[in-house]
Amino acid sequence: MVPDLADLLATSRVVSLPMTTRFRGITVREAVLIEGPFGWTEFSPFVEYDDEEATAWLRAAIDFGWRAAPEPLRDRIPVNATVPAVPADQVPAVLARFPGTRTAKVKVAERGQTLTDDVERVRAVRDALGAEGRVRVDANALWNLDEAEHAIHALAPFDLEYVEQPCATVDELAELRRRIRYMGIPIAADESVRKAADPLAVAKAGAADIVIVKAQPLGGVHAARRIVAEAGLPAVVSSALDTSVGIAMGAHLAAALPELEFDCGLGTVALFAQDVADEPLRPVDGSIPVVRPSVSSARLDELQADTERTQWWLDRLARCHRILERGLAL
């Protein structure tokens, strides 16, 4: 069931959150918060996504705001630190924002940077975490097959937990996995799950050892949980640079999975200078609670986007709502 557009717009608040560090090329994150019968929910597809792709994010917002979350199996979720593509000397300051975390995901393959930059950044993370820490890297599909193989060889001395989306296509991931199998470094799929017409294709092809799942891009907590069950692979629940409200959506997904072998990528509120929640879901002792955060009107007023950006987001929400309604009518 899709709520009426008027019901969504009645409580929609568009916010603009400043970030502590440039991430995904942005320094400000915008989002629409909507209050539903089950609490606050979030619609925040990245601005470059078209309406068809953004519609899954609206479906997720409705799922979390208008439907009870699955019964949780745990009340806290262990999370990783997220290290943007910063110079190596900035790594300690970034990690300090994630107190108690034992795992770090390091962005690599940033446009305009070199493999040497990646190696030095990962080295700094390994030095900071020590031998017992876990280091994973994320290339966001920006390497070709040969570049990925070369880069993984260069980064292997830092004892990688896994490499996330090193290449763009399922075929490339499958071939890379075959080439580096002897190294014992797992391949995780993110974009090949959340941006694919068939999110199970990567599992069917044997192209990954781990699936990265994000509640908003996959249409919500219930839809993402079904994908994990059908994929039959270990899952890491991650975020899409959400506010605490979107992070709560991910936390409820992680809490409902029968197995949670890996620390989750749900600590990214630590990358914001400000957040919408009265008690932001930043990591404490390496984890976050499974809660629906309280959001105050005063905080929403303080973080409200300007008139032009607010209208842009509300128009986008309306277009995606029309797509959802058309889909129900078919």
Q: Report residue 1's pLDDT band, with 50, 70 and 90 as the boundaries.
A: confident
Is residue 119 within 8 Å of 155, Cβ to Cβ?
Answer: yes
Does residue 183 sit in the same domain as residue 283?
yes
DSSP annotation of 112? T
Does residue 203 sit in the same domain as residue 159?
yes
Does residue 209 sit in the same domain as residue 324?
no
Does residue 99 sit in the same domain as residue 56?
no
Does residue 93 sit in the same domain as residue 60?
no
The pLDDT mean for the chain works out to: 96
The tokens for 137 are 């890297």
Cα separation of 136 and 186, whole Å? 10
What are the helix (H) ranges across 261-306?
297-302
Q: Report residue 22's pLDDT band, with 50, 70 and 90 as the boundaries.
A: confident
Q: Which of 105, 107, 195, 204 is catalytic?
A: 107
Does residue 110 sit in the same domain as residue 244?
yes
What are the helix (H) ranges across 265-306?
297-302
Q: Report residue 330's pLDDT band, with 50, 70 and 90 as the boundaries.
A: very low
The question of whether 107 is a catalytic residue gets the answer yes
pTM, rounded to two decimals:
0.96
Domains of the chain: total: 2
Buried/exposed 195-207: b ≥16 CB within 10 Å, e otherwise? eeeebbebbeeeb
Helices (H) and strands (E) in the chain, counts: 12, 12
Q: Which of 105, 195, 204, 214 is catalytic?
A: 214
Tell me, what's the pLDDT at 329? 54
Q: Is 190 annotated as a binding residue?
A: yes
pLDDT digits (tens, 9 = 90+) for 149-163: 999 999 999 999 999
Q: Tell the burial category of 8 from Cβ atoms under 10 Å away from its Cβ (0-12, 13-18, 19+).
A: buried
Does residue 20 sit in the same domain as residue 163?
no
Mean pLDDT of 43-57: 97
Does residue 273 sit in the same domain as residue 308?
no
Cα separation of 127 and 122, whole Å? 9
The tokens for 315 are 């128009």
Does residue 188 sit in the same domain as residue 47?
no
pLDDT digits (tens, 9 = 90+) for 261-304: 999 999 999 999 999 999 999 999 999 999 999 998 999 999 99
Q: What percent of the chain is predicted at pLDDT more than 70?
A: 99
pLDDT digits (tens, 9 = 90+) for 90-101: 999 999 999 999
Does residue 63 sit in the same domain as residue 88?
no
Q: Is 138 annotated as a binding residue?
A: yes
Does residue 181 sit in the same domain as residue 264?
yes
- CATH of residue 25's domain is 3.30.390.10
Mean pLDDT of 196-225: 96
Is residue 221 within 8 Å of 247, Cβ to Cβ?
Answer: no
Tell me, what's the pLDDT at 103? 98
What are the helix (H) ranges across 180-220?
191-194, 201-204
Identify any residues that bridge with 31 across adjacent strands, giving them in sequence order: 15
Q: Is 301 annotated as a binding residue?
A: no
Does residue 231 sit in the same domain as residue 138?
yes
pLDDT for residue 126 is more than 90: yes
Mean pLDDT of 60-68: 98
51: containing domain: 5-69+297-329
Strand stretches in 79-146, DSSP E: 81-83, 103-107, 134-138
The question of whether 195 is a catalytic residue gets the answer no
**At 213, is the secondary structure helix, strand, or coil?**
strand
List the one residue out of 296, 295, 319 whose CA is nearest residue 247: 295
